[in-house]
Amino acid sequence: MIELNDVHKAFGQNQVLRGVNLVVSKGESMVIIGGSGTGKSVAVKCVLGLISADKGQVTVEGEDVTRLKQGSAERDAFLARFGMLFQGGALFDSLPVWQNVTFRLLRGSLKRPWDEARGIATEKLRRVGLTPDVADLYPAELSGGMQKRVGLARAIAAEPEIIFFDEPTTGLDPIMAGVINDLIREIVVEMGATAVTITHDMTSVRAIADKVAMLHGGKIRWTGPVTNLDDSGDPYVEQFITGSAEGPIETVR
């Protein structure tokens, strides 16, 4: 279970998170929605320790994440439980696709023999719908959709317990976005992993989520099952899911 309690984070004068409280149960697929710049990625990065919260507590299975020292063995072990698909893929340009996918398995505590890692890469690439001939290409040689798939393969390569997906369908055409959504849902169900997805793509929300949380004004405005999303009774959520310019969320024209 992941818990964020009263998490605050500011960048200079910009107070991004103003007391986020969120609980993600084990095996649940939680989707965090909210406008651009509302701090969705910041909240997730606070869980991973990529950004330090100014105030508040983040726990994973009861373990206080903020107390893990950078570079310590405990933190490495903690991070080994996570997989993450970054918004832009964040694939390593200097490495071929297969070494990107098995990056964690080629070094560190999870290190496997070269041939075995290559086999795992081929299998994970197949799982995300890519053929083995992609394995030796470099990220720059791939289309945006293929890069997302490789990023997804990398996120699941070490079979993590918890997977974060940051804007998994941004920049993709609707068909490719649908493919990625289906893949995420299948993989999460198949692996039994806890998933946290950040998106403002409502098609993704309905395809991926068990539960939805709406982040606005630095706080979680609403949280509930995806089946209740259309009857949330929250004007912010209603405006967001209908994409209306009229409502409590200010729009700049």
Partner 1 sequence: MNFLAAIGAAVLGLLAAIGRVTHFAVETISHLARPPWYPREFGSQILHIGYFSLPVVGLTTIFTGGALALQIFAGGSRFSAEAVVPQIVAIGMVRELGPVLVGLMIAARVTSSVAAEIATMKVTEQIDALVTLSTNPMKYLTLPRVLAATLVMPALVAVGDVIGIMGGYLVGVNRLGFNAATYIKNTVDFLEPLDIVSSLTKGAVFGFIAALMGCYFGMRSGRGAQGVGRATKGSVVAASVLILAANFILTELFFAV
Report the SS3 class of residue 253: coil
Binding mask 130-159 for partner 1 (x = CB under 8 A): ------------------------x-----
Q: How far is the CB of 109 from partner 1 (least distance, A)?
A: 7
Site for partner 1 in 56-115 (CB under 8 A): 70-71, 76, 79-80, 82-84, 86-88, 90-93, 103-104, 107-110
- Contact yes or no for 7/19 (Cβ under 8 A): yes
Binding mask 189-228 for partner 1 (x = CB under 8 A): ----------------------------------------
Phi, psi of 29 (to 5 degrees): -105, 105
Cα(198)–Cα(87) distance, integer angstroms: 9
Phi, psi of 19 (to 5 degrees): 110, 60
- Please work out the total of residues on this chain that contact partner 1, with binding judged by CB under 8 A: 26
Specify the amino acid at residue 231: D
Closest by CA to 125, choosing from 134, 116, 117, is 134
Q: How far is the CB of 235 from partner 1 (least distance, A)?
A: 33
Q: Which residue has the tokens 């508040």?
A: 56
Positions that interact with partner 1 (CB under 8 A): 45, 48-50, 70-71, 76, 79-80, 82-84, 86-88, 90-93, 103-104, 107-110, 154
